[in-house]
Amino acid sequence: MALYRVGPGRWCSPRWRWVGFRIAAIILGLFPLVVFEGALAVFDLGLPDPGDDPFVGFSAIRPLFALDRSGDRYEIAPPRRGMFRPDSFSSRKPSHGFRIFCLGGSTVQGRPFAIETSFTTWLRLSLEAADPSRSWEVVNCGGISYASYRLVPILREVLGYQPDLIILYTGQNEFLEDRTYHHVKSMPRFVAESHEWFSRFRSYNALRDGLTRVFGRRAKSLSRDRPVLPAEVEALLDYRGGLEHYHRDEAWRRGVIEHYEANLRRMVALCRAAGVPVLLVNPVCNLETPPFKSEHRADLTDEERAAFDRSWNEARALYATDLSLAMGRLRDAIELDDQHAGIQYILGVCYLQRRQWDAARETLIRAKDRDICPLRILEPMHAALFDVAGATGTPVVDAWELFAERSEGGIPGNGWLVDHVHPSIRGHQVLARALLEKMHGLGFLPLRPGWEVERDRRFDEQLASLGPSYFARGQQRLEALEGWARGRAIEVPRAARPTQ
């Protein structure tokens, strides 16, 4: 093989010279792109928009907060008070202030009561007791029926108000609004994955934004066919017969779960881009609540349906006299159709009666996840939350585990929740303590000696200040909420009811 001199005492073969020329050509070809990327970085241009939602759009986005007449405080804007309770914070953040925004649905708001007994208030009082040297602001951004995709615009807004911490508690309202995901599913997978990879480069984002302006397209959304939702929530259950809109639709369910995970990632990315710490809360729900709607599996034959009904009717006749035999009949029915949420629930409460905790927990979770009208967070959504937290290094307060470890048999139920998802006042206090301890562990504050005594005093004063009418209104809201969500047409015989 002939060799060519490339320098004093240095030789190379023709093949290596050919490779070297091509590597040099590639480097020269990429050099303008590298320079362009560097220039965009200097001027802070071309960053991907983590808030862009390819799943849904909104007909209008209105600010959540507005300055009051004095200009001294931001308060929940009057047009938004149908879904949010009044809350406010100073327009000029104190030099020693620490500002927290808590985003989520009605659990954050404290329903069926209000902000005054939500974990946000208990957290503020706890922080003031633990470290009175600072001015603590805990702002409640809990919207009734608000799902994760409706929280993203709110997060964008509050990141402009000098927050020191964002707390996200979301996951119970994802199935409330009617929307489709056909436009997302129809997108070729390689297109979506290619877009996600190229979005890491500022030049790609800058070029796409430029094309959007020139041609007037909504290219940033990756789809011009995404559904457009109204400015405020229009829950299916707000309409007469709303429960009838719910049917088994596995494709839609997968789309909702995927959207939820994408929203968590977007919100964490928005916080990171703004340099604001974020804390995720893994939601808790009541496993003792019956399913809201049950359906048989689609391919159940008439003969199987008749056998299913026969087994269930035999079980009903046996509850009071022979619970073991009744449970056997329920299991016979489940062998015919394990997708029926109601039969899973009845078997689960029978396990509760027998204090067979592991079997009860597993069966009640299956009933929850097979609910045709899922008003409680699903197990894949818990997994998605922890996946996002693990991938992004985001801390989590596990409300599910927090309540489970305080519940008999490790089953969150009526002892700590007043309905299917809303914690009791005592439950909100427990959650507030867990959040404070997490903040302490993350180095946000010290805990001065004896702070619990001062916290308890502040808690007692807060409860005493509310008066009987506050709790009466909460009870009325609870009854109204149960009526709104009615559809749990599973009559649980007395002998098979969960213990209170």
Six token digits for residue 316: 């009903």
E strand spans, 315-428:
396-398
Locate all alpha helices (DSSP H) within 91-245, ordered by sequence: 106-109, 119-130, 148-158, 182-185, 189-198, 202-215
Residues 166 and 273 sit within 8 Å (Cβ to Cβ): no
Angle at which helices 341-353 and 357-369 pack, to 10 degrees?
160
Residue 182: CB atoms within 10 Å: 14
What is the identity of the amino acid at 106? S
What pLDDT, on the 0 to 100 scale, is given for residue 355?
A: 96
Residue 116 CA to residue 454 CA, distance in Å, equals: 18
Residue 422 CA to residue 150 CA, distance in Å, equals: 20
User: Which residue, among 494, 485, 495, has the nearest Cα to 289 in the 3D structure?
Assistant: 485
* Coil, helix or strand at residue 319: coil
Question: What is the phi-psi region of residue 49: left when phi exceeds 0, alpha when psi lies from -120 to 50, beta otherwise?
Answer: beta
Six token digits for residue 95: 């030099």
What pLDDT, on the 0 to 100 scale, is given for residue 187?
A: 42
User: Which residue, among 465, 396, 399, has the nearest Cα to 432 in the 3D structure?
Assistant: 399
Q: What angle do CA 354, 360, 364 make, to 5 degrees?
A: 140
User: Which residue, among 276, 257, 283, has the nearest Cα to 170 in the 3D structure?
Assistant: 283
Burial of 446 (0-12, 13-18, 19+ CB in 10 A): exposed
* Dihedral Cα 129, 135, 138, 139, nearest 10 deg: 150
Going by the DSSP 8-state scheme, the letter that residue 232 receives in this structure is S
Residue 161 CA to residue 143 CA, distance in Å, equals: 19
Six token digits for residue 352: 């509760």
Contacts of 35 (CB under 8 A, 6+ apart): none
Alpha carbons within 13 angstroms on the beta-carbon side of residue 491 total 5
Six token digits for residue 27: 């480097």
pTM of whole model > 0.85?
Answer: no
Residues 178 and 209 sit within 8 Å (Cβ to Cβ): no
What pLDDT, on the 0 to 100 scale, is given for residue 216?
A: 42
What pLDDT, on the 0 to 100 scale, is given for residue 422?
A: 96
Per-residue pLDDT of the chain (500 residues; tens, 9 = 90+): 555 554 555 555 565 555 556 666 666 676 676 666 666 555 555 444 554 677 788 888 899 999 999 999 999 999 999 999 999 999 999 999 999 999 999 999 999 999 999 999 999 999 999 999 999 999 999 999 999 999 999 999 999 999 999 999 999 999 999 876 655 444 444 444 454 445 546 565 566 555 544 544 444 444 456 788 888 888 888 777 788 889 999 999 999 999 999 999 999 999 999 999 999 999 999 999 999 999 999 999 999 999 999 999 999 999 999 999 999 999 999 999 999 999 999 999 999 999 999 999 999 999 999 999 999 999 999 999 999 999 999 999 999 999 999 999 999 999 999 999 999 999 999 999 999 999 999 999 999 999 999 999 999 999 999 999 999 998 888 887 776 665 444 555 554 444 44
Residue 186 CA to residue 225 CA, distance in Å, equals: 11
* Coil, helix or strand at residue 497: coil
Residues 67 and 73 sit within 8 Å (Cβ to Cβ): yes
Tokens 């109601």 locate to 342
Alpha-carbon Rg for the chain in angstroms: 28
Superfamily of domain 302-373+492-496: Tetratricopeptide repeat domain (1.25.40.10)
CA terminus-to-terminus distance, the chain: 89
Residues 205 and 199 sit within 8 Å (Cβ to Cβ): yes
> What are the angstrom distances between the C-alpha of 37 and each of 44, 210, 242?
10, 15, 51
Beta bridge partners of 167: 102, 279
Residue 35: CB atoms within 10 Å: 10
Domain map (residue ranges) of the chain: 4-42, 302-373+492-496
